[in-house]
Amino acid sequence: MTSPTGRKVTANIALTLDGRYNGPGGPMDLSAIVPYATTEVARNHLTRIWENATTALLGRVNAEGFLGYWPAVAADENADPRDRGYAKWLVDTEKVVLSTTLTESPRERARVVNAPAGEVVAGLRGHGEGDILINTSPSITRALLAADLVDRLYLLICPEIAGSGQRLFDDGLPGSRWRLSSKETGELGEMALIYDRVR
């Protein structure tokens, strides 16, 4: 979908081979994802994800987790430069947190919005520049896929089958076609993929 400002809506997430972003232990079970999150391929992919983005769109849970963890990485001179680059971007960029329960912002440069994701994205696309990144927030990604508002998917595919857990691509999403724009495979079998929506 074309925006008057040319802003693209992008989304990033890590998934298992069976399409899950967590395992049978629930939302905190990332055992099939974590071993691949700090590989060379994953770190290079992380840089591609944020380098054109000027707004981070987050759900409440991810906002609280990310904004509790990444600022320390931004300040750590010994951190991998790619991790630190992402962390500094996340600290400094505009952050929009979608929540029905938060009443105040969890961090500086973050604002809380209680509105449907599609409505928020339409407002963001109407002004400013740079990509709007749905930052590892599956519920927002699903809602915007359902509304056909995602222009690019950054996927890190981890070579494990979780067996159960939550899936990103639930039944009921509308059909859509995507073009593979970039693929990088790591030594552990992980794949960093970039897909662009074909409209």
Indicate which CATH number applies to the domain containing 107.
Answer: 3.40.430
Name the pairing type of β-strands 94-98 and 110-113: parallel
- With H, G, I as helix, E, B as strand and everything else as coil, classify residue 77: coil
* Per-residue pLDDT at 129 exceeds 80: yes
For the segment 49-95, what is each residue's pLDDT rounded down to a tens digit? 999 999 999 988 877 777 778 888 888 999 999 999 999 999 899 99
Residue pair 37/177 in contact by the 8 Å Cβ criterion: no
Structural domain range at position 55? 1-129+184-199
In whole angstroms, give the CA distance from residue 195 to residue 55: 20
In whole angstroms, give the CA distance from residue 114 to residue 100: 5
Whether 141 maps to a domain, the answer reads no
In whole angstroms, give the CA distance from residue 191 to residue 14: 10
No. of helices (H) and no. of strands (E), the chain? 5, 8
Q: How many domains does the chain have?
A: 1
* Per-residue pLDDT at 2 exceeds 60: no
Whether 145 maps to a domain, the answer reads no
Whether 167 maps to a domain, the answer reads no
Whether 147 maps to a domain, the answer reads no
**What percent of the chain has a predicted confidence (pLDDT) above 90?**
77
Confidence of residue 1 (pLDDT cuts 50, 70, 90): low
Whether 160 maps to a domain, the answer reads no
**pTM, two decimal places:** 0.92
Q: What is the mean pLDDT of the chain?
A: 92
Whether 99 maps to a domain, the answer reads yes
